[in-house]
Amino acid sequence: MKAAQINKYGGYEVFEINNDAPKPTVGEGKVLVEVYAASINPFDKAVRAGFMKNMMPLNFPAILGGDFAGVVKEIGEGVTEFKVGDEVFGSANIFSGGSGSFAEFATAKARNAAIKPKNITFEQVGALPLVGSSAVQALEEHMNLHNDQKILIHGGAGGIGHIAIQLAKTLGAYVVTTVSGNDKDFVKQLGADEVIDYKNEKFEEKIKDPSTGSGQVFDAVFDTVGGEVTNKSLQVLKKGGVLVSMIGEPDAKFAEEREITAIRQGTKVNTKHLERLAQLIENGKIKVNIAKIFPLDQIQDAFKYQEELHSRGKIVLKIR
């Protein structure tokens, strides 16, 4: 089968196309999927660059990639949720028992997959598993976000952020988001109520309670940016608020003093989250924005595009 492999850690130039890579074999509790589309995430860059090698070392040659959409070709022992021919989406991440999705075929654990919604393309749904699961886990499970609450979403035009805005509005929240100035109209169209241009405005000074002048106005903050943004976000939360960060490590002592719940989230792409996303898509509550689609042969260009441009939404690899 054709696959994009790496034989060492490094930049996007370490990807090589192998037209004769061995097809993975399906094991117990797994499905073999013919991959129609996959998408790239910052996590894939971190793995490729070796940032995770002490915790999660690779065996070379390695096939990276988690997000996939495709058609089930074989089912392993004990799998009852799927049958051959089912259109599915999910995660084939090698650290979650998969074989990597940047290939014509991939194996994934059945518990990390779900049936593809009928009203969406393979490319669109293949962009969704990690970013969508991140938003569902943060907003619905950690924050329990609901009507009349106020949330600040950092990086609203990105892969996770643009899904989180739509989900927050579906849950009835008032949404403030940070983006660069040229993305303001984009996030407004997604439903953002207020937009802060992070290049020209300081979010920690921008939003105040009109009656008290306090900057502690948010019930929840979802941080997809990291760096100094993470702990500055603690300053704008109400007592009892919740901060979920995808990247930064929140100051636990400061959070405890302010009675804030601060969480560094490790996203789980599982059937529960994926079925929730499928429901939201089928009901027209969220849409995936694809910045650009590349063929698998151009995987180096795809990663270059993601890493050098702040793209709106997701970068997708079309494999079939």
Distance CA 91, CA 128 (A): 10
Q: Name the least confident of 13-17, 127-131, 213-217.
A: 213-217
Position 30 scores a pLDDT of: 98
Position 20 scores a pLDDT of: 98
- Please state the rounded mean pLDDT for residues 292-313: 92
pLDDT band for position 56 (50/70/90)?
Answer: confident
Instruction: State the CATH class of domain 3-128+288-318.
Output: alpha beta
Distance CA 83, CA 177 (A): 41
Q: Which residues of 163-202 are buried (b: 16+ CB within 10 A; e: fewer)?
A: bbbbbbbbbebbbbbbbeeebbebbbebbbeebbebeeee
Higher pLDDT, 86 or 313: 86
Q: Name the least confident of 94-103, 245-254, 300-309.
A: 245-254
β-strand pairing of 105-109 with 218-223: unpaired
Residue 308 has pLDDT above 90, yes or no: no
- Please state the rounded mean pLDDT for residues 260-268: 92
Two structure tokens written together for 19: 């037209």
- Please state the rounded mean pLDDT for residues 169-183: 94
Position 215 scores a pLDDT of: 67
> Tokens 């984009």 map to which residue?
186
- Please state the rounded mean pLDDT for residues 54-69: 95
Residue 279 has pLDDT above 70, yes or no: yes
Residue 254 has pLDDT above 90, yes or no: no
Q: What is the domain partition of the chain in residue ranges?
A: 3-128+288-318, 131-264
Higher pLDDT, 214 or 307: 307
Q: Name the least confident of 45-49, 213-217, 296-300.
A: 213-217
Strand partners, 74: 32
Residue 310 has pLDDT above 80, yes or no: no
Q: CB atoms < 10 A from the CB of 10, how many?
A: 12
Position 214 scores a pLDDT of: 66
Average pLDDT, the chain: 94
Position 18 scores a pLDDT of: 98
Give the tens place of pLDDT for each residue, 102-125: 999 999 999 999 999 999 999 999
CATH number, domain 131-264, options 3.40.30.10, 3.40.50.300, 3.30.420.40, 3.40.50.720: 3.40.50.720
Position 211 scores a pLDDT of: 63
